[in-house]
Amino acid sequence: MENQIGSSANNQLVALVTGANQGVGFQIAKALAANGYSVYVGSRNLKNGEKAAAEIGTNAYAIQLDVTQPSTIRATANRIEKEHGRLDLLVNNAGISHAGKPGRTLEEITEDGRASTASLDEVRTVWETNVFGVIAVTQAMLPLLRKSSAARIVNVSSGLGSLTWIADPACWAREHFGVVYAASKTALNAVTMAFAIELEKENIKVNAVSPGFTATALNNFQGTDSVEVGSREPVRVALETDGPTATFTGPEGSLPW
């Protein structure tokens, strides 16, 4: 397989999608592969990644990647370096909504995320994936992204992370804002902007995108949109090779930071 991948290294665009074994990440990886990208399907559990890559078919390659484990991040960077020598697109999709007792409803998870009572252990665990994991993976992939002629980074965020929205008393999302998941997406937006500002002079585009309220494992499948619908905007941004940088968009268009 390595020889096959290596032989196409010069002309095939290369993408890495974290958390790509299910949900929105899987849909993004599937769309990229369908558009001719050589896609690394990042998954904490390699068997799940292999199953997803097999389902996607041509151009999809499973890779074990836990964004909270530096050793797997390094191994991923080394493999991409060896097989392609560069990375054209990084999609930071891996994310978790909670780390507390399993089986809770979305309402219970929201209640447990209240600033006054949230478990600090749960806050740390969620932020480890949603914020620090994104920084770690992006830093590790930057040397490879710098070797691309049109590098892009897409961070999968959430409308819940918009402070402008949350500050509006009439906003539907206000009551769902807590320090576990929602605030982690606010922090992710800030991280997105920090990378976008720094990398703009190198012509590396960095954008945040919200899938909207999509039914995934993140919310016990209580979302109102299918993963196919939810992945449309992330896919659009991921495929846009000559678009803007430092944007935050969702299914309805531009979102306020």
Asked about 101 being catalytic, the answer comes back as no
Measure the CA–CA gap between 257 and 255, rounded to whole angstroms. Answer: 6
Q: What is the pLDDT of residue 108?
A: 86
Q: Identify the active-site residue in 37, 40, 185, 205.
A: 185
Report, as an integer, the average pLDDT of 205-233: 68
Q: CA separation (Å) from 19 to 45, 86, 147, 254? A: 10, 20, 24, 24
Q: What is the pLDDT of residue 213?
A: 64
Q: What is the pLDDT of residue 102?
A: 80
pLDDT tens digits, one per residue of 71-108: 999 999 999 999 999 999 999 999 998 887 888 887 88
Q: Strand ranges (DSSP E) for the chain? A: 14-17, 38-43, 60-64, 89-92, 152-156, 205-209, 248-250, 253-254
Q: In the structure, what pLDDT confidence band is assigned to residue 229 with cuts at 50, 70 and 90? A: confident
Q: What is the pLDDT of residue 7?
A: 39
Q: What is the pLDDT of residue 59?
A: 97
Q: Identify the active-site residue in 37, 61, 181, 205.
A: 181
pLDDT tens digits, one per residue of 170-190: 998 898 899 999 999 999 999
Q: What is the pLDDT of residue 227?
A: 66
Q: What is the pLDDT of residue 100?
A: 79
Q: What is the pLDDT of residue 172?
A: 83
Q: In the structure, what pLDDT confidence band is assigned to residue 115 with cuts at 50, 70 and 90? A: very high
Q: In the structure, what pLDDT confidence band is assigned to residue 14 with cuts at 50, 70 and 90? A: very high
Angle in degrees, CA 118, 183, 45, rounded to 5? 85
Asked about 185 being catalytic, the answer comes back as yes
Does the structure show a pLDDT above 70 at 216? no
Minimum mean pLDDT among 2-6, 45-49, 62-66, 102-106: which range?
2-6
Average pLDDT over the chain, rounded to whole? 90
